[in-house]
Structure 1
Amino acid sequence: MTATLCPALMVSAPASGQGKTSVTAAIARHARNAGKTVRVFKTGPDYLDPMVLARASGQPVYQLDLFMGGLAHCRAQLAAAATEADLILVEGVMGLFDGAPSSADLAEAFGLPVLAVIDASGMAQTFAALALGLQSLRGERIRLCGVVANRVGSEGHGRMVAEGLPANLPLVAALQRRQDLALPERHLGLVQALELPGLDAQLDAWAQAWGEASRGFEFEPVRFAAEAEPALPALLAGRRIGVAQDAAFSFIYPANLDCLRALGAEVATFSPIAGEPLPPCDALWLPGGYPELHADAMRANPTFFAGLREHLALHKPLLAECGGMLALADTLVDGDGHEHAMAGLMPGSARLHQRLAALGMQSMDWPEGTLRGHSFHYSTLATPLAPIATASNPNGGKTAEALYQQGSLRASYLHHYFPSNPQAVAAFFLNKA
């Protein structure tokens, strides 16, 4: 088997909230500004961080997940990226060793050197102890190539956190605390990149800070096996699938769209909140997002809800995920307690809460086959519909999402990863109830 060498790096941390996304974005933007082609991946399920990373790199950001996609799928994605990129970056998820599979599992599987980002606020020499713990837990199976001290208070603070670090675990950069460069957040995480008009200037500022702090750091080449996934049969040839895509329906894995096209489908995107009508199509996909923030705009669209009703009356398939499902309910109560009338095409009422309602990886047995994905939401749905299936959590967590079917409508809180079973996805989009 042939292989391709490409400089690569995993950016991880001891916990969430350390600054992985901003550091990854800074490195990507710095390399891009230097004229390099950068491919960035995100470990595990996530929609919001990849939006920022895509803006930083100028390239779409795909997931690498050993549960949702599997080892061969991840290997093929990395191999393809290595043939076109000057640098591959992989942002980890949570802490380096958190979860099953973890960022460490991914780094070990593909020999990725790890750069650990540690929030140095409130610590000095203890920084080295934390870094050494990350370095030693799996011994030689995981190799930390350096650490970044994030949010240091001064140059002197940066020197203190470097004390005790061995020569084989250098302090690559000490990045100053900058409140003016922090990204805003809401209940599901970062505010979407498309809602941040000053994001590009902010990314350039991050890139400059990284360049000034990390002089002399060199990215190591990694050998990626030249492996391609088998071509998919054109099961959806001649089919046109409409996909809602805007600030209300933005939780879309690029790999899902690629999968539909690889199956032969034509993908037609449209923006409900911009007033665009449903495109002529054989099937529809309403992905997740923030319908509660854009309920007024959806109702103001003169054709959106009526078009959905007509689509279902013609018994055409419609897949609704999480926020897409809530848009079909009778009513939706937002985080401020305001009730919004929704499409009324799926009986039930949804309510947003202040606390997380569900989180976890999921495996769902569709009638057409098993799909994998994840769940992450702050809302709950009360519906009289009985589930046709219930997901399971591979790590034994309590989240177990329901799958609902009503005529040609299929709905769930589950965010499906289409490449986990393309044939099952194709079979559903081909069906007429």
Structure 2
Amino acid sequence: MRIEAVRATPGVAGFFFDDQRAIKQGASRDGFTYEGEPVTDGFDRIREAGESLLVELRLGDGRWVRGDCAAVQYSGAGGRDPRFRADEFVSVLEGQVADVLRGRDATHFDENVTAIEALPSREGGRLHTAVRYGVSQALLNAAAHATRGTPTDVLATALGTEPATEPVPVFGQSGDERYTNAEKMLVKGVPVLPHGLFNSADAMGADGDGLLDYLDWLSTRTDDLGRPEYEPRFHVDVYGMVGELFGPPYDRPEVTDYFAALERAAAPYPLQVEGPMDAAGRADQIHAMAELREALADAGVAVDVVADEWCNTFDDVRRFVDHEAADVVQIKTPDLGGVQRSARAVRYCEGTDTRAYLGGTCNETATSARACAHVALATDAAQVLAKPGMGFDEGYMIVTNEMRRTVARMDGRATGADAAERRDAVRRDPDPGRAGGGRR
């Protein structure tokens, strides 16, 4: 089945673009927005509406399949591509990208995404990561439609993996509503929570006591609201604020004692802390993370550290893993470009002491979130982010239901829904989307 046409339409994303540097430098809140001038290139204001670019491919049978170009909330920070403006890339999608894809066999996912990754941008270098991200989703869905399988099947075939047989643990993010949304997560039994958004001195507290108090509260509320069998993992993102509090070096007792206090506050639940510091560059960040991780191990502090800042590309993931600089790496899907690159980054963690967290951003779309659910299943990642948005409920529903739906479909095939049965089902029911699915 051939790809016949490409269409691109500017759309909205699930959250906002924020100038992280301006916020960390003390920009004051003005209601939902921020006062002051932006300091990161590409921003006109500190907080701007999120954008997406809706990609559609028309296949030979007339079917349109989709993918959404999206970029992270904190674009332009930590070595990431600049803030994404959707209307600037419509002509790129309908011109340069369409010229490469038109006439290609939709079943050849690996070849098609490789061709897109090789395309240069107008300024030289590669196309914006958001563009490669969205087009790869559309190509993944095209291959799934053409082969009458799931996107998980397509990725597993391309990677040579055995997909997960159960949904991957979902990680909920609370946004600024770190108390109300955490309680929602506890009631729903979310496996990993709550993110917390500790991205400012106000949230962290003068001596880090704000985070300590929050973890103590979270542990207590988990006991209050969780079912008896509920055993969640706590995961908080501090956006480099531990580094702002203490500074390097990170192997001194003052730092490890603070992490020991965090461990006690979270007990009896395991804790992982994302982005403890934000160094001046990639090499410095890797050194600082490795230094902290080794110091915590020597001190017997059972808090895992999660790499985020300066861990953007596949090569970055490989460097953090090779230098043993993190217990967990966030694979920030829009920053890697095509979804196949995120999948390979997850696989790179196999057989190491580093777990793969398939992340992303609140500033994505439902379409990109569903695509990432298939990446998580195909690679059996350690955890996957609930996205898009910061309201929690919607993103958790989208990602969880996509995985459950896909696992049920795979279970149905494994328990006797062979090709003949599926053909008979299609004859009985002219809607092939309902044939052969579900648990039997």
TM-score (norm: length of structure 2) = 0.29
Indicate the structure whose relative CO is greater, using CA pairs within 8 Å and at least 6 residues apart: 2
* Larger strand share, 1 or 2: 1
* Larger helix share, 1 or 2: 2
